[in-house]
């Protein structure tokens, strides 16, 4: 049995990074798998402070983005994490067999907690066990993610192995990270060495899926570059992260190799490339933005779709949780 699971935190507006590194690659992935589940991971969002009203809105908006990008809720299960109680329960149970040493290695916690480690929440520290629970609750085998989440999927794999070893049963399949697409780590438009992130304080660091065309064009115009012309071969990206990022985005949207883009644009100035790039981004994202607006107009319908998805997800989760409790020796009367 093979099953796909992935999710995105509704922490803010989704970005071009979420689009190229995640959602775009989910479309059509169901082929060749028994089922696929796409979750809006709202419990993960709570690992950093959230405004309750905004969180609800962003949860709907994230689901709207999934549908607008082409996820078909009639043949995939789309739902929000907090609607299926098994996520939190399994997170606790798995947390009881996850060594602290494994969590201490997670780079996302180090990046997000920074120097204020002692003030970071237990939730932020335990984020990877909740993510392992998300995946294992459905016995998912394939987890499509951007490059930054690979380490967490590998941890989920180790936790699944630890459970199987502790209870001497091949119960959980070992999930595989799938790093798909041609832009697995889209970088900030302000600093090509940092990941493009929803929570970066500068809105100019990212393209949001909700940005209007003129905003996209302005952000690309202001994107950091260097004084040289574009490289005509891959070796020319050495020490030029911003050039590499902008050309990688263009290559991914065009569905071409980065080397082809170097051949097309090598030797040209950024001032010539940037308008072509912003037109290409607008061509891809403006239909997504308009469809998101349509989905957001009918909240009752959107909520109904999520409710139906949560019921289907809970059916799978309930059976697996029953087996997990049984294996772990919890009394079920
Ligand atoms: N810049 C990126 N390039 C490629 N893939 C990306 N993803 C996120 N940013 C990029 C992928 O999108 C999926 C959902 O990620 P997430 O939003 O749940 O968490 P994150 O990876 O922590 O992303 P952010 O934007 O940095 O979130 P915040 O700012 O809220 O912490 C994952 O598959 C991720 O790899």
Q: Domains in the chain, ordered, with CATH? A: 3-184+297-328 (3.40.50.620), 203-294 (1.10.240.10)
Q: Tell me which residue has its CA closest to atom 15 in ligand 1.
A: 8
Mean pLDDT of 92-118: 93
Per-residue confidence (pLDDT) for residue 216, from 0 to 100: 98
Which residues pair with residue 262 across a beta bridge? none
Using CA atoms, how far apart are residues 5 and 73, in angstroms rounded to an integer?
14
Provide the pLDDT for residue 186.
Answer: 97
Q: Is 82 in the pocket of ligand 1 (CB under 6 A)?
A: no
Question: Is 112 part of the annotated catalytic residue set?
Answer: yes
Quick one: pLDDT at residue 29? 83
How many Cα neighbours within 13 Å face the side chain of 251? Answer: 22
Q: Is 268 a catalytic residue?
A: no
Contact 17, 27 (CB under 8 A): no
Cα–Cα distance for residue pair 129/123, rounded to 1 Å = 10
Mean pLDDT on 194-208: 95
Mean pLDDT of the chain: 96
Residue to substitute in 17, 20, 59 for testing ligand 1 pocket (most ligand atoms within 8 angstroms of CB)? 17
- Among 19-33, 130-144, 156-170, 226-240, the minimum mean pLDDT is found in 19-33
C-alpha 219/C-alpha 222 separation (Å) is: 5
Q: How many Å lie between the centroid of ligand 1 and the Cα of residue 206?
A: 12
Could you tell me the strand order of the sheet in which 77-80 lies? Answer: 77-80, 35-40, 3-8, 142-144, 176-178
- Which ligand 1 atom lies nearest to the CA of residue 144? 33
What gap in Å lies between CA 245 and CA 238, rounded to an integer? 12
- For residue 266, the CA-to-ligand 1 centroid distance in Å is 30
Proportion of the chain above pLDDT 70, given as a percent:
100
Give tens-digit pLDDT for 129-174.
999 999 999 999 999 999 999 999 999 999 999 999 999 999 999 9
The pLDDT score that the predictor gives to residue 182 is 83
For the segment 132-144, what is each residue's pLDDT rounded down to a tens digit? 999 999 999 999 9
C-beta 143 within 6 A of ligand 1: no
Rounded Cα distance between 272 and 229, Å, is 10
**DSSP strand E in the chain: where?**
3-8, 35-40, 77-80, 142-144, 176-178
Clarify whether 110 is annotated catalytic: no
Is residue 30 predicted with pLDDT exceeding 80?
no
pLDDT score of 253:
96
- Looking at residue 177, the DSSP 8-state letter turns out to be E
pLDDT at 277: 98
Structure tokens at 285: 């994202």
Quickly tell me which residue has 């402070």 as its tokens: 49
Question: What per-residue confidence (pLDDT) applies to 11?
Answer: 94
């Amino acid at each position: 049995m093979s099953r796909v699971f992935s999710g995105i935190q509704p922490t803010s507006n989704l970005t071009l990074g979420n689009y190229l590194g995640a959602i775009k690659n989910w479309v059509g992935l169901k082929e060749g798998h028994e089922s696929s589940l796409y979750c809006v991971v709202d419990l993960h969002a709570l690992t950093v402070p959230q405004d309750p009203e905004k969180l609800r809105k962003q949860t709907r908006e994230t689901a709207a983005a999934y549908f607008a990008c082409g996820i078909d809720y009639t043949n995939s299960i789309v739902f929000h994490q907090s609607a299926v109680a098994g996520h939190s329960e399994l997170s606790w149970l798995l947390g009881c067999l996850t060594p602290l040493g494994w969590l201490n290695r997670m780079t996302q916690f180090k990046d997000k907690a920074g120097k204020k480690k002692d003030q970071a929440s237990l939730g932020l520290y335990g984020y990877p066990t909740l993510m392992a629970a998300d995946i294992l609750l459905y016995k998912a085998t394939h987890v499509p993610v951007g490059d930054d989440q690979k380490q967490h999927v590998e941890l989920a794999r180790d936790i699944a192995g630890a459970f199987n070893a502790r209870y001497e049963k091949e119960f959980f399949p070992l999930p595989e990270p799938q790093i798909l697409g041609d832009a697995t780590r889209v970088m900030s438009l302000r600093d090509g060495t940092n990941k493009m992130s929803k929570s970066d304080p500068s809105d100019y660091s990212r393209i949001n899926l909700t940005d209007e065309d003129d905003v996209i064009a302005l952000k690309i115009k202001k994107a950091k570059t260097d004084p040289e012309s574009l490289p005509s071969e891959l070796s020319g990206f050495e020490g030029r992260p911003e050039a590499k990022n902008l050309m990688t985005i263009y290559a991914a949207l065009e569905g071409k190799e980065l080397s082809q883009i170097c051949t097309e644009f090598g030797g040209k100035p950024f001032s010539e490339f940037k308008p072509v790039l912003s037109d290409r981004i607008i061509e891809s994202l403006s239909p997504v933005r308009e469809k998101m607006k349509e989905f957001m107009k009918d909240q009752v319908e959107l909520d109904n779709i999520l409710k139906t998805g949560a019921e289907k997800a809970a059916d799978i989760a309930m059976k697996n949780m029953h087996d997990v409790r049984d294996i772990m020796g919890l009394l079920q009367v």
